[in-house]
Copies of this chain bind each other. A is one copy, B any other.
Amino acid sequence: MSDFNIHILGCGSALPTKRRAPSAQVVDSRGKLYMIDCGENTQARLREARLGFSRLTHVFISHLHGDHCFGLPGLLSTLGLLGRVGDLVVHGPRGIEEFLEPFFRLFFKGMTYEVRIETVDPRERALVMEDHSTRVWSLPLKHRVPCCGYLFEEKPGEAHIIREMIDFYHVPVKRIAEIKRGADFVTPEGVVVPNARLTRPADPPRRYAYCSDTAYAPAIIPWIEGVDLLYHEATFAEEDAARARETFHSTAREAAMIARDAGVKRLLIGHYSARYEDVTRLLDEARTIFPETYLSDEGMVEKL
């Protein structure tokens, strides 16, 4: 089964600390890297994670707060210094081009590659990217500024052929492709061998949902139903719930309620407020609601 790994490059919140880096993740799937958010110094975290810059094809920005996008200019210019040639696509809410435009005018003259900016409407759930292996959807979130999460969805792969049966029925090589796609096989004698006898079902497509930053937003539940992994912000502990309301963030409990009600397989919490030296209290509060909760941490890799 091919890789589908989530690299946590940063899971802190607005105020950086010695321990925590601002928001940034990378989805590593079928040889491509998709970045989600890009707080300051993400390029250094990417290097520490030993992820080749050249495999990066798309960057998805959730919203225009500094801790989610101030690392973009440095990353883009480093890609230029490394002589990148392939396009890079940056997806984000309206304002993203207004944010990046001055950099192209003042700093990125004569770059070796093109940055394509694609604006996302954070108010709707829509398909924002599709390539040969993956679809990415926007998820409307509730924050102080327009903000969306992203749902990563593998496209269904092909069925696995059963070598022994292929040999038994002397299936010619030129038929394999269509059989992988579901066709039956008809022998020279006209006997129909049903596809089910020749193949094992494809691996189930994997799905990953990123939801940060957001207040408690149950409206997203139908869209993330049953995902293999949900990353949901849990900026505050229960005792700071009032602060969570004011700032349009979630408590660990609220993140867990979303995970439970969406029936996700696992919940990863992050975007911790700098006020918590020790975040296990956030984990404990979440687990009372949803036991399959885990803490994100810089440098962590989640394999789906």
Please report A residues at the B interface, Cβ cutoff 8 Å.
Answer: 14-16, 18, 40-41, 43-44, 47-48, 64-66, 70-71, 73-74, 77-78, 81-82, 95, 98-99, 101-102, 105-107
Residues of B within 8 A of A95 (CB): 106
Q: Report the bound CA distance from A48 to B18 in whole Å.
A: 8
Which 10 pairs show the lowest CB-CB distances between chains A and B?
A: A41-B41, A40-B74, A66-B77, A70-B74, A15-B81, A70-B73, A102-B102, A66-B107, A99-B106, A64-B106
Among residues of B, the one whose C-beta sits closest to the C-beta of A77 is: B66
The oligomer's copy count stands at 2
Q: Report the bound CA distance from A95 to B102 in whole Å.
A: 10
Among residues of B, the one whose C-beta sits closest to the C-beta of A22 is: B74
Residues of B within 8 A of A81 (CB): 14-15
Q: Report the bound CA distance from A62 to B70 in whole Å.
A: 21
Which residue, of A15, A48, A107, has the highest number of chain B Cβ atoms within 10 A?
A: A107
Partner of A98, one of B16, B43, B71, B102: B102
Partner of A43, one of B16, B43, B99, B105: B16
Q: Report the bound CA distance from A102 to B40 in whole Å.
A: 17
In the assembled complex, 26 residue pairs joining A and B whose CB atoms fall closer than 8 Å, in A order, are A14-B81, A15-B78, A15-B81, A15-B82, A16-B43, A16-B44, A16-B78, A18-B47, A18-B48, A40-B40, A40-B41, A40-B43, A40-B74, A41-B41, A41-B44, A64-B106, A65-B107, A66-B73, A66-B77, A66-B107, A70-B73, A95-B106, A98-B102, A98-B105, A98-B106, A99-B102
Report A96 CB to chain B, min CB distance, Å.
Answer: 9
Which residue, of A65, A66, A82, A105, has the highest number of chain B Cβ atoms within 10 A?
A: A66
Residues of B within 8 A of A70 (CB): 73-74, 77
Residues of B within 8 A of A99 (CB): 102, 106
Q: Report the bound CA distance from A106 to B48 in whole Å.
A: 30
Among residues of B, the one whose C-beta sits closest to the C-beta of A109 is: B145
Q: Report the bound CA distance from A82 to B274 in whole Å.
A: 12
Q: Report the bound CA distance from A43 to B16 in whole Å.
A: 9
Report A255 CB to chain B, min CB distance, Å.
Answer: 23
Q: Given A18-B48, A77-B66, A78-B16, A40–B71 Cβ distance below 8 Å?
A: yes
Report A145 CB to chain B, min CB distance, Å.
Answer: 9
Among residues of B, the one whose C-beta sits closest to the C-beta of A107 is: B66
Which residue, of A70, A98, A99, A101, has the highest number of chain B Cβ atoms within 10 A?
A: A70
Q: Report the bound CA distance from A99 to B70 in whole Å.
A: 13
Q: Report the bound CA distance from A16 to B70 in whole Å.
A: 16
A14-B77, A16-B43, A102-B102 given; name 16 further pairs at CB < 8 Å.
Answer: A14-B81, A15-B78, A15-B82, A16-B47, A18-B47, A18-B48, A40-B74, A41-B41, A41-B44, A64-B107, A65-B107, A66-B73, A66-B74, A98-B105, A99-B106, A101-B102
